[in-house]
Amino acid sequence: MKLQKTLSHLQRLHPKEIDLSLDRIKTLCEKLGNPQDKIKAISVVGTNGKQSTINAIFSILKEAKIKCNVYTSPHIQKINERFVFNNNTIKDDELIDLFEKVKKINDQNPLTFFEALTACYFYKATQYPENINLIEAGLFHRFDATNILKKNLASVVCSISKDHLDWLPRNQQTVEKIIFEKTSTLLNSNIIVSKQNSVKTTKNIKKTINKNLSNKLFFNEDYSYFNGENGFFYYEDKFGGLKLPLPNILGQFQLENISTAIATIRQLNLEIKDDDIKNGISKIKSVGRLQEIKSGKIKNLIKNNKLLLDGSHNEDGARVLNEFLQTLDCNKHFIIGMMSNKDHEKYISYFKDISSLTTVDIPNQQNAISGKKLKEKFRHVLNVKYEENIEKAIKSLSLEENDLLIITGSLYLAGEVLKLN
């Protein structure tokens, strides 16, 4: 109750949920002693794959006995998930204490919610000066609250595609503009660019960071992977090749993210052993991102059928999810809920072989599109219907043996499913 009260206060410090500017966060951090200048950080930007890449880096570093702090967003179930210090998710009492200290120092000055959380993270991170900080950028990055670091160990550029277009002027809603926003202010250190969804995107990234003096690594030029047999894949960079076991997480795209994580770590000369990498990629924790739900109340509703939960919500996320689903020989039933500011028609266009599609409302999210309106947008899909909630949607399905149920469209929906489960 006290945590929620403190959160409510922080959410009222600014009339807008997002207000792209660095002035407020810089002012507050100056009062806090500029904690962002006292930490060792790896910054991760992009549209898709940020969390997966961070999870892979984190898992490998833990295996190497290197301690980390991690800042990510959004959270799936509890806000505590956004704050990892010394390898552990922060506890409620510590989080309340942190919020109260920063709230007092801020002294009622205007501040967006994300700016407040970011300042809190930087402030707490200085308690662990030797730890490596894995920091996920928020919206676009150029005017994002995380973009006040003066130096870092590396910047990782994950896959960039169209998303959050409503925050751009109508005549600038292009991939080129998004690339500029995400990469034009990267620091001079190391830049590791992950696999992009097109050659054109990679060329635009190269053009944007052309004058950046960083050491630059590009997927398929400076590091790469290729599939092996019998549960292995092969990774290569200038330091040599690695024969690695397939990770414990699903999806071909995860090999791309893991390869980027390995390239980043090996570039930093952290004395990581090959066995640390091998063991680390077999212990990656991934919640709400192509996650198989194997037990719980929701899983019990479909008994022996397979249940996958994925928070993908934009066209590139749909593309890689569909690529994975196409490797499965089964009927695929979809339950989808989405936020209103997404390109719904573009998202659904990537999926093939839909056996049934049920749209649902996302509870407790005022910016979500209603399931009924979403059904209308998906009206060209055969066997599309609407149910008001997840449980009713599942109970309305006629699943046969070996059929797959995939719940997707939003990280907020994923959180609700995990809560119900």
Q: What is the DSSP letter of 217?
A: E
Q: Tell me the helices (H) and strands (E) count for the chain, helix number first.
A: 15, 17
Decide which of 261, 280, 299 is a domain's last residue. 280
Q: What is the pLDDT of residue 3?
A: 85
Domain membership of residue 285 (yes or no) is no
Residue-wise pLDDT tens digits, 287-310: 999 999 999 999 999 999 999 999
Both 304 and 400 in a single domain?
yes
* Strand-pair partners of 335: 358, 407
Domain membership of residue 72 (yes or no) is yes
Can you tell me the distance from the alpha carbon of 56 to that of 282, in angstroms, rounded to the nearest whole number? 9
Can you tell me the distance from the alpha carbon of 109 to that of 105, in angstroms, rounded to the nearest whole number? 9
Residue-wise pLDDT tens digits, 153-204: 999 999 998 776 666 778 878 889 999 999 999 999 999 999 999 999 999 9
Q: Is the pLDDT of residue 207 over 90?
A: yes
Q: Is the pLDDT of residue 138 over 90?
A: no
Both 312 and 249 in a single domain?
no
Q: Is the pLDDT of residue 1 over 80?
A: no
Residue 389: give its domain's CATH number: 3.90.190.20
Q: Is 292 helix (H, G, I), strand (E, B) or coil?
A: strand
Tell me how many domains the chain contains. 2
Both 328 and 273 in a single domain?
no
Decide which of 280, 310, 344 is a domain's last residue. 280
Q: Is the pLDDT of residue 407 over 70?
A: yes
Both 145 and 24 in a single domain?
yes
Both 121 and 47 in a single domain?
yes
Mean pLDDT across the stretch 275-291? 95
Both 153 and 16 in a single domain?
yes
Q: What is the pLDDT of residue 191?
A: 98
Domain membership of residue 209 (yes or no) is yes
Both 261 and 326 in a single domain?
no
Both 254 and 346 in a single domain?
no
pLDDT band (50, 70, 90) for residue 69:
very high
Domain membership of residue 258 (yes or no) is yes
Token duo for residue 139:
């919206």
pTM of the model: 0.94
Both 132 and 90 in a single domain?
yes
The DSSP annotation for 372-409 comes to HHHHHHTTTSTTEEE-SSHHHHHHT--PPTT-EEEEES
Both 404 and 330 in a single domain?
yes
Both 42 and 134 in a single domain?
yes
Domain membership of residue 142 (yes or no) is yes
Both 132 and 221 in a single domain?
yes
Residue-wise pLDDT tens digits, 89-130: 999 999 999 999 999 999 999 999 999 999 999 999 999 999
Decide which of 280, 300, 328 is a domain's last residue. 280
Q: What is the pLDDT of residue 281?
A: 97
The size of the chain, in residues, is 421
Domain membership of residue 91 (yes or no) is yes
Residue-wise pLDDT tens digits, 6-45: 888 888 887 777 777 899 999 999 999 999 999 999 999 9
For the four alpha carbons of 74, 79, 82 and 88, in that order, the dihedral sign comes to negative
Chain-centre distance of CA 193, in angstroms? 16
Mean pLDDT for all residues in the chain: 94
Token duo for residue 127:
């308690």
Chain-centre distance of CA 410, in angstroms? 12
Domain membership of residue 345 (yes or no) is yes
Residue 171: give its domain's CATH number: 3.40.1190.10
Q: What is the pLDDT of residue 167?
A: 64
Q: Is the pLDDT of residue 347 over 80?
A: yes
Crossing angle of helices 252-267 and 50-63, in 10° steps, is 50
Mean pLDDT across the stretch 364-392? 95
Q: What is the domain extent for residue 326?
A: 291-420
Domain membership of residue 286 (yes or no) is no
